[in-house]
């Protein structure tokens, strides 16, 4: 069952022209969720569940292959991104295995040859999740009261999107780590650190982690609707000078922040609390 603290939003009104009441109700739930903790679940989102289920099933098959077979799908050591098969520790003595996929057509993707239909299924899921990302972005744009298509134009480069397969999502709420296990047909949405900065904390980014329970295997798909790396990020005037509020963050290039976050994983600090987060750019007052 879905945790009652994780709001579920029906997106079906946004696929019709005349359900303004349904859209209004959905936006109210999303606005409340984003202003309080930054995560919610969506249903009737347009992503075919059979594609998601097939992708997860093929992932399970692939990750049960012998190590030597999986390593054939790893990126070269000099690749700019670790596309393909990878492993990393994640808050557990057991290793986590994952597949990192860049946008379809990227020359850096490394797809497994087996299972035979894996590449086709992953590309289909990626494309559908991109469409869902566009829809959620437009809804968040409205919830923030920004000009029409503002976020779409701000984030108009899809080349930095990526998808990986991991398991054990947990979200921190009121100091408690809540396991997020979507019910069938739902997707979990986390508002990004970028939205938190752009909105000057009006909308919150969910603090989350991926934990693999010891002795158990879990599979999930994570889609990152990313900003292009050279983009400059700082609180928007709509949430600062236009309303007489001081900026709560200093500006930064998005790729700079990504590099710091990647370092958390490649060179984990001795204490989890020392991990670099968006608070690294917070302006102390």
Cα–Cα distance, 250 to 284 (Å, whole number): 10
Q: Helix, strand or coil for residue 186?
A: coil
Q: Which domains are delineated in the chain? A: 8-281 (2.60.120.330)
Straight-line distance from the first to the last Cα atom of the chain, in angstroms, rounded to the nearest whole number: 42
Question: Residue 91 has what pLDDT?
Answer: 47
For the segment 65-97, what is each residue's pLDDT rounded down to a tens digit?
Answer: 999 999 999 987 777 678 899 886 554 445 678
Residue 115 and residue 235 in contact, taking contact as beta carbons nearer than 8 Å: no
Predicted confidence band of residue 1 (pLDDT cuts 50, 70, 90)? very low
Q: Tokens for 256?
A: 């700079």
Mean pLDDT over all residues of the chain? 87
Residue 235 and residue 223 in contact, taking contact as beta carbons nearer than 8 Å: no
Contact residues for 68 (Cβ-Cβ < 8 A; gap 6+)? none
- β-pairing, 39-43 with 84-89? unpaired
Residue 88 and residue 155 in contact, taking contact as beta carbons nearer than 8 Å: no
């Amino acid at each position: 069952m879905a945790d009652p603290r994780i709001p579920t939003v029906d997106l079906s009104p946004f696929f019709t022209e005349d359900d303004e009441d349904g859209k209004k109700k959905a936006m109210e739930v999303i606005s409340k969720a984003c202003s309080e903790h930054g995560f919610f679940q969506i249903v009737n989102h347009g992503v075919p569940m059979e594609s998601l289920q097939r992708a997860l099933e093929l992932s399970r098959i692939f990750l049960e292959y012998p190590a030597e077979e999986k390593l054939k799908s790893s990126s070269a050591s000099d690749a700019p991104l670790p596309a393909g098969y990878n492993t990393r520790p994640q808050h557990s003595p057991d290793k986590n295995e994952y597949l990192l996929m860049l946008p379809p057509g990227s020359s850096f993707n490394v797809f497994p040859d087996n299972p035979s239909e894996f590449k086709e299924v992953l590309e289909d899921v990626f494309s559908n999740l991109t469409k869902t990302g566009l829809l959620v972005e437009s809804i968040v744009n409205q919830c923030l009261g920004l000009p029409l298509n503002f976020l779409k134009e701000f984030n108009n480069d899809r080349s930095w999107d990526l998808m990986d397969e991991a398991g054990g999502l947990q979200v921190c709420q009121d100091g408690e780590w809540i396991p997020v296990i979507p019910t069938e047909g739902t997707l979990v949405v986390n508002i990004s650190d970028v939205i938190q900065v752009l909105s000057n904390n009006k909308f919150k980014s969910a603090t989350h982690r991926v934990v693999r329970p010891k002795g158990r295997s879990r599979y999930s798909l994570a889609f990152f609707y990313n900003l292009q790396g050279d983009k400059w990020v700082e609180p928007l005037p709509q949430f600062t000078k236009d309303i007489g509020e001081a900026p709560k963050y200093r500006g930064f290039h998005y790729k700079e922040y990504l590099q710091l976050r990647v370092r958390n994983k490649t060179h984990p600090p001795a204490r989890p609390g020392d991990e670099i987060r968006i608070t690294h750019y917070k302006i102390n007052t």
